Amino acid sequence: MSQTDHLSLLPDLLEQSGSAYHVYDCGRRLEAITEADFQSICMQRQAHPYPFQNHAWLAIEFWDAKHAAAEHFLWFLKFPIDERGLISLAAQQAFVASVLTLLGQQITGALNAQQEQELQQSPYLFTPTETQRAALYAQLSVRHQRAPSIHFELAQEQLRSAEPELWHNIGLQGLHDVAARLNQDPLTSTAIAKHFSRYPAAMQKALAEALEHHCLPGTLAEAFTQDLLSLAAPDLHRVDCLYRLRALASQSQQSATADLIDHILQHPDADQLVLIGLRFWSTLIDQTASQQPDQSRLYRYIHALAQLQQQPLFNALMTDLLRLPSVRPYVLMLLQRHDLPTAVQSAWQEFIAGVTDAR
């Protein structure tokens, strides 16, 4: 057996190199993946839980486990998944083989310029967005008990102000550092709840994109939820409401958030339906039902999506839902019903026809 055969999968490479590591998914929102789940996912013992655009988008932080002060490295890796949600073994093996050829098992050593250039040419590496990188750095700084970035204090100061005059000067990393520490910062949390509607729209958007990766303090989550529950369409369709909803993305398992999604689904617009599909997919199935999971919210979601009569959007969101292992079986079960509204039947048939033609 060759070295490449033995170290065929990512966990093998990391462990045999003597590395300690942390894994995050960053395709939808930043989600920590346990070492046990990571190994199981890589070995195809379980589906990847957070696929996006038919891929698993992983951030792996690793370092020499024998040295506490060792330099930490980051790989941003993108691997295809199949229709069952299983991550590609061939892609993993190809990446591992290329790393072994280039670096051997010493993956925590400093790379020379040529090695760095060759590694960056891998088709399995991707360049994260500025927001993805800021979210990851913020969570890692908290996890490793490091100080926040130099942008933290200005971000905190401006968020506490009802008139944030210097908001243009806030570094994106500062917003994410504040978001990662809100549960230990009640003054800033209270100020955000009080002043959010007065922040400039660009600041609201950037803050929402930072908050969505964290379970918010209870008072802030309740304030955002109650703000939205108090509104009906068309006020609920305002862009600041969309940002509040996005900020609640990591609260998707809470009953109050489920009530909020029910409220929005009474008269949703396209932007809200996109956000629900991409960030609140786990809320579409009520797993608390005593007998079997309640699919009624998923039904209302698909019906609302079909009623938009925007077939490209329907196709894109249905394709995405069918890639989610926690949602896929319920979508297929629901769409086999014989009493579906005409709008849903028509949109689903056109979706199936498009999939068939693509093959």
pLDDT tens-digit series, residues 239-281: 999 999 999 999 988 899 999 999 999 999 999 999 999 999 9
Q: pTM to 2 decimals?
A: 0.93
Domain annotation covers residue 262: no
Q: Are 283 and 252 in contact (CB under 8 A)?
A: yes
Q: What is the pLDDT of residue 293?
A: 86
Instruction: Read off the pLDDT of each residue in 286-297 and give the average, rounded to a whole number.
Output: 80
Q: What is the pLDDT of residue 109?
A: 81
Instruction: Read off the pLDDT of each residue in 229-245 and give the average, rounded to a whole number.
Output: 97
Domain annotation covers residue 314: no
Q: Residue 19, class by beta-carbon neighbours within 10 Å (0-12 exposed, 13-18 middle, 19+ buried)?
A: buried
Instruction: Read off the pLDDT of each residue in 142-159 and give the average, rounded to a whole number.
Output: 98
Q: Indicate whether 290 pLDDT > 50.
A: yes
Q: Are 15 and 107 in contact (CB under 8 A)?
A: no
Domain end, chosen from 53, 86, 120, is at 120
Domain annotation covers residue 279: no
Domain annotation covers residue 332: no
Domain count, the chain: 2
Q: Write out the H or E segment, with its range, that includes residue 21.
A: strand 19-25
Domain annotation covers residue 275: no
Domain annotation covers residue 94: yes
Dihedral-angle region of residue 71 (phi above 0 means left; psi in -120 to 50 means alpha; beta otherwise): beta
- Compare 253 and 175 and report the one with higher pLDDT: 175
Domain annotation covers residue 34: yes
- For residues 63 and 161, membership in a common domain is answered with no
d(C-alpha 167, C-alpha 12), whole Å? 46
Structural domain span for residue 152: 129-251
247: its two tokens: 């900020």
d(C-alpha 57, C-alpha 124), whole Å? 10
**Band of the pLDDT at 287, cuts 50, 70, 90?**
confident
Q: Indicate whether 306 pLDDT > 70.
A: yes
Instruction: Read off the pLDDT of each residue in 346-359 and give the average, rounded to a whole number.
Output: 85
- Alpha carbon distance, N-terminus to C-terminus of the chain: 38
The mean of the pLDDT values for the chain is 93
- Per-residue pLDDT of 2-50, as tens digits, reads 333 446 899 999 999 999 999 999 999 999 999 999 999 999 999 999 9
